[in-house]
Amino acid sequence: MLSRLRPSIGRSTSLSRTARGFATLMLAAAVAISSSVSAFAQGVPVVRDAEIEALVRDYARPIFKAAGLANDGIDIVLVNDPSFNAFVTGRRLFINTGALVTAETPNEIIGVIAHEAGHIAGGHQQKLRDQLDRAKTMAIIATLLGAGAIVAGATTSSKGLAGAGMGVAAGGGEMAQRSILAYQRTEEITADRSAITYLNATGQSGMGMLKTFGRFQSALSLAGTQVDPYRISHPMPQERIANLEVLVKQSPFVNVVDPPALQQRHDMMRIKIAAYMQGQAAVARLMRKNPTSLASRYGDAQQTYLYGNPGAALIKTAALIKEQPKNPYFHELRGDILMKANKPKDAADAYAKAVSLDPAHSGLLLVSLGQALMAVGTPDSLKQAVVQLNNGVGRDKENAEAYRFLAQAYGEQGDIPAADLATAEGHYYAGDYKNAKIFAMRAQQKLKRGEPRWVRAQDIINYTPSNKLK
Ligand SMILES: [Zn+2]
């Protein structure tokens, strides 16, 4: 993401600090969720990153399988927020970067996912999940942010904030209100028991879950700390933690630790989030423990790319590639650096290598490749760019930004109806239905009635936003 994040990350980073304030502002205006989505979409704190999405999916897949849940392609949605939260709708797993960077081991995140899977398997909040599963990602984020603002208002006893929050809950219908309803204590016990079942079935320890929940439990008494939405929706009384501890310690897998290769990927993910979201001090803090580890050197290379010079970053990245030649994300970083150094041809080669090595087949790497090919700027590379960008959105339909690049590539080729339709798609997936319709109608004027692109444009024109939360 950090590559895809490249253009948007600055915006995302600044937003992370103001996300709650921004949400509050939206809420104070008492705007219904359906109409606030496009505003949120201007700066939705969703973070995209091929490496992190693949890792979290790898954490979730065995657990979902053990729980008998859909194991065919779970969408991972990374929310750029320093608080701890995770929520599964069914086909999408929302997780805050704050949760990922806090967890010292994969097992801590896997335990949280197992607990969430327990809620799904138990049918808890099923109606809400069904509503969310039909909603677009952007609408859900808006709702989650709204929920956070309500919580913040309540804990600071600010009548104004709490009142604004209730306004949005009403505006968003039952969904926003229900999303802040805590699970029942009996549901928590059920979910904990189910989580242990899934962890046992996959030969994993419950110690990470116990550590995470125990941390919430002890944080209850701390004044002035951030309110983690997760702790609000999952009540953690002392006896629940005590019961969980018994279950965890009964398991034959209690002492199992994460495989070293998985721990290494986790460490690299944490330092990446620190480098791109939190700044140099956070990276230094993570590096201190083991300055020569691969993760530390990865963080160092990323920092050099972000804050230093491309030449030095390339040397550090070359050393990483020498150590793990088949790590697609090292090649991706190399592509990012080469783009910054204005060497798009070399960058395209690096991204192509990353694509060929990526076991997760991320659409994001294809979009990076497409962007580099666009920057090369020859008619042939432009043609290839269109192919790769189309492959990218084919794997990643909701990637609004990718459609904007695609529109630009079609535009440079002189294919104006295709450019207009891609622009319409970009607005559509960003939740800006008004502009989506304008560009869809513009595309239709130049397309033959009834052909596939004309039909797709008609779908966008016919789309009614009020349907999306129902
Ligand atoms: Zn729970």
Ligand 1 centroid – CA 147 distance (Å): 16
Last residue of a domain, one of 194, 217, 250: 250
- Asked if 297 and 240 sit in the same domain, the reply is no
Ligand 1 centroid – CA 310 distance (Å): 45
- Roughly how many angstroms between the first and final C-alpha of the chain, as a whole number? 32
CB atoms within 10 A of CB 462: 9
Ligand 1 centroid – CA 66 distance (Å): 18
Facing residues of 93 across strands?
76, 88
Ligand 1 centroid – CA 374 distance (Å): 46
Closest C-alpha among 459, 364, 408 to residue 46: 364
Rounded-to-integer distance, Cα 116 and Cα 405, Å: 36
Residue 317 lies in a domain: yes
Whether 79 and 72 have beta carbons less than 8 Å apart is answered as: no
- Asked if 219 and 268 sit in the same domain, the reply is no
Residue 13 lies in a domain: no
**Would you place residue 144 in the very low, low, confident or very high pLDDT band (cuts 50, 70, 90)?**
low
- Asked if 289 and 219 sit in the same domain, the reply is no
Each as own residue / partner, the long-range contacts of residues 84-87 (CB below 8 Å, 24 or more positions apart, any chain) are: 84/216, 84/228, 84/229, 84/230, 84/231, 85/144, 85/148, 85/228, 85/229, 85/230, 86/112, 86/113, 86/116, 86/230, 87/116, 87/144, 87/233
Ligand 1 centroid – CA 236 distance (Å): 8
**Higher per-residue confidence, 246 vs 160:** 246
Closest C-alpha among 31, 158, 175, 144 to residue 78: 144
Counted domains in the chain: 2
Ligand 1 centroid – CA 134 distance (Å): 22
Measured CA angle at 369 (ends 38, 424), to 5 deg: 30
By residue range, what is the domain housing residue 239?
Answer: 46-154+166-250
Ligand 1 centroid – CA 68 distance (Å): 18
Last residue of a domain, one of 227, 250, 273: 250
Ligand 1 centroid – CA 274 distance (Å): 27
Closest C-alpha among 397, 449, 451 to residue 422: 397
Ligand 1 centroid – CA 61 distance (Å): 19
Q: How far is CA 85 from CA 12, 314, 343, in A?
A: 17, 35, 39
State which H helix or E strand residue 86 sits in: strand 86-88
Rounded-to-integer distance, Cα 436 and Cα 381, Å: 28
Ligand 1 centroid – CA 86 distance (Å): 10
Residue 140 lies in a domain: yes
Number of separate helices (H) and strands (E) present in the chain: 25, 4
- Asked if 265 and 227 sit in the same domain, the reply is no
Ligand 1 centroid – CA 94 distance (Å): 14
What's the CATH number where 377 sits? 1.25.40.10
Residue 454 predicted with pLDDT over 90: yes
Q: Report the pLDDT value the prediction gives residue 145, as an integer from 0 to 100.
A: 53
Ligand 1 centroid – CA 247 distance (Å): 16
- Asked if 72 and 108 sit in the same domain, the reply is yes
Specify the range with the lowest mean pLDDT, choosing from 55-69, 231-245, 303-317, 349-363.
231-245
Ligand 1 centroid – CA 186 distance (Å): 10
**Would you place residue 15 in the very low, low, confident or very high pLDDT band (cuts 50, 70, 90)?**
very low
Q: Report the pLDDT value the prediction gives residue 397, as an integer from 0 to 100.
A: 86
Ligand 1 centroid – CA 321 distance (Å): 41
**Would you place residue 257 in the very low, low, confident or very high pLDDT band (cuts 50, 70, 90)?**
very high
Residue by residue, DSSP assigns 297-365 as HHHHHHHHHHHS-HHHHHHHHHHHHHH-TT-HHHHHHHHHHHHHTT-HHHHHHHHHHHHHH-TT--HHH
Residue 34 lies in a domain: no
Residue 96 lies in a domain: yes
**Would you place residue 158 in the very low, low, confident or very high pLDDT band (cuts 50, 70, 90)?**
very low
List the structure tokens of 180.
């802040």
Residue 148 predicted with pLDDT over 70: no
**What number of residues does the chain have?**
470
Residue 6 lies in a domain: no
- Compute the average pLDDT of residues 34-57: 67
Residue with token string 């001090």: 281
Q: Report the pLDDT value the prediction gives residue 237, as an integer from 0 to 100.
A: 79
Q: Report the pLDDT value the prediction gives residue 179, as an integer from 0 to 100.
A: 47
Ligand 1 centroid – CA 69 distance (Å): 17
- Asked if 333 and 193 sit in the same domain, the reply is no
- Asked if 386 and 245 sit in the same domain, the reply is no
- Asked if 229 and 374 sit in the same domain, the reply is no
- Asked if 191 and 300 sit in the same domain, the reply is no
- Compute the average pLDDT of residues 244-271: 97
Residue 124 predicted with pLDDT over 50: yes
- Asked if 227 and 300 sit in the same domain, the reply is no
Rounded-to-integer distance, Cα 247 and Cα 265, Å: 28
DSSP secondary-structure letter at 465?
Answer: G
Residue 294 lies in a domain: yes
Residue 31 lies in a domain: no
Ligand 1 centroid – CA 117 distance (Å): 9
Encode pLDDT of 204-216 as tens digits: 999 999 999 888 7
Ligand 1 centroid – CA 115 distance (Å): 6
Q: Which amino acid is at 199?
A: L
Encode pLDDT of 397-442 as tens digits: 888 889 999 999 999 999 999 999 999 999 998 888 999 999 999 9
Ligand 1 centroid – CA 314 distance (Å): 44
- Compute the average pLDDT of residues 169-198: 69
Last residue of a domain, one of 195, 230, 250: 250
Rounded-to-integer distance, Cα 281 and Cα 301, Å: 15
Q: Report the pLDDT value the prediction gives residue 53, as an integer from 0 to 100.
A: 94
Q: How far is CA 346 from CA 41, 70, 318, 336, 357, in A?
A: 33, 40, 14, 10, 17
Q: Report the pLDDT value the prediction gives residue 226, as an integer from 0 to 100.
A: 60
- Asked if 269 and 226 sit in the same domain, the reply is no
- Asked if 339 and 445 sit in the same domain, the reply is yes
Ligand 1 centroid – CA 133 distance (Å): 19
